[in-house]
Chain A
């Protein structure tokens, strides 16, 4: 296996995960207005995730971690039972980190990866895949089920949000912000950066560029990709806060009519929730 995370020393993995999580996902959640673990400010409408967490008595994140642990435990036992060597199951106390890797960095990894053929691990990989998918199928996340029920019940709820004057104005501001940051077309620039990275890899492949020079060029492209992401996050963040706020108004109105039905959905899964949290 050649996962880039696995190839890093452990402290580096944590550092990358920490940086990635804090700068990207954290920024996204903060910008969007997180529900998990943080209630609305006084006077703000109560949105659906907050109402679910309040009645369930757990956070969505807690249930996700508990579900992931049960899935992993089952999958690890399954692979071992199939006769393959496999890492020991280690329960998590927090969600799996999410990191963002640029396309340029992926090309760099390909260029620097060992070229030797890997041993044929298709048998182990097949067992691993079957076991994980089987575990995911058999271990249900009760809160995800409730949220899926909500999705079905709230079709059309957000139709008015996209045309709300506050949301339209916020998105117009976001688009101006991105243009002012020097990106008249985010898509075109992104595509251009990808093509530049691919071209560097191609030049290495044909021998017209050596690896140190390629590393320098790809690092510059990766930095440009990250600058683009930062501009998108910085410009779209405020628009998402406005959109989330208007959407929460719609959710609050829905809750005022459907709260008992929502509670019934949670109550019907109470035993599952308690079982997961207690395990």
Chain B
């Protein structure tokens, strides 16, 4: 799946480290109910909650996970991500390539969200075999992308791309 989804990188909380030799079963049974520990657990829970709300979203469009970009394409055009795409800043750094002298250019398009009004064109190249670099910002984590050789002949990554 090119549009992979990652959980926020939660730091392991002290509550999950079995502090004091207590087991998960012991915690589940609620054996430690001191005010200090309850306050500590509450703080941990609040911290995790805040982190979930504000955690940055990794660029996902051309990634198979953190720091794992990939490239793919069709018989007439290819696209891929550079190594710094699959981080946590929401910027995509990639390239697109026209690989056929068929008189059509190749167009890389993306959407921030599936219900967006239209597609954004990030790059467009007619130069044979040249890897045209581009970058764009997509802050949401459900972006989609495709390459087209003319309007009406587009390929969505990994679904109907040939290879």
Contacts and interface: CB of A to CB of B under 8 A. Distances in A.
B1 A34 contact: no
A32 B114 contact: no
A222 interface: no
A107 B89 CA distance: 13
Interface residues of A, number: 79
A129 B101 contact: no
Given A36-B150, A132-B114, A158-B100, A148 B162 contact: yes
A276 interface: no
A32 B103 contact: yes
B120 A100 contact: yes
A32 B104 contact: yes
Interface in A88-129: 95-101, 103, 106-107, 109-110, 113, 117-120, 122, 125-126, 128-129
Nearest to B99: A158
A24 interface: yes
Contacts of B102: 158, 161, 243-244, 247
A3 B140 contact: yes
B117 A17 contact: yes
A28 to B, nearest CB: 6
B128 A162 contact: yes
A91 to B, nearest CB: 14
Contact of B119 (A1, A96, A137): A96
B134 to A, nearest CB: 8
B105 interface: yes
B109 interface: yes
Contact of A144 (B53, B140, B160): B160
A186 B98 CA distance: 17
Contact of A96 (B3, B52, B118, B150): B118
A119 B53 contact: yes
A211 interface: no
Nearest to A76: B115
A239 interface: yes
A245 B104 CA distance: 11
Nearest to A135: B114
Contact of B3 (A109, A119, A133): A133
A239 B104 CA distance: 11
A101 B120 contact: yes
Q: Is the interface of A mostly helix, strand, loop or mixed?
A: helix
A17 B103 contact: no
B71 interface: no
B113 A120 contact: no
Contacts of A159: 101
A240 B156 CA distance: 24
Contacts of A34: 150
A36 B151 contact: yes
B118 A98 contact: yes
A64 to B, nearest CB: 4
B144 interface: yes
B3 A99 contact: no
A98 B152 CA distance: 11
Interface string B141-163: 11010000011111110011010
Nearest to A164: B101
B87 interface: no
Given A2-B112, A28-B124, A162-B101, A98 B119 contact: yes
A6 B117 contact: yes
A133 B61 CA distance: 13
Interface of A: 1-6, 13, 17, 20, 24-25, 28-29, 32-36, 49, 59-61, 63-64, 75, 86-87, 95-101, 103, 106-107, 109-110, 113, 117-120, 122, 125-126, 128-129, 132-133, 136-137, 141, 144, 147-148, 151-152, 155, 158-159, 161-162, 167, 187, 190-191, 194, 236, 239-241, 243-248
Given A129-B5, A136-B156, 11 more contacts: A6-B117, A13-B117, A49-B150, A61-B151, A86-B115, A117-B54, A125-B140, A133-B159, A151-B162, A152-B162, A244-B104
8 contacts: A6-B117, A61-B152, A75-B114, A97-B117, A133-B1, A148-B160, A240-B104, A244-B104
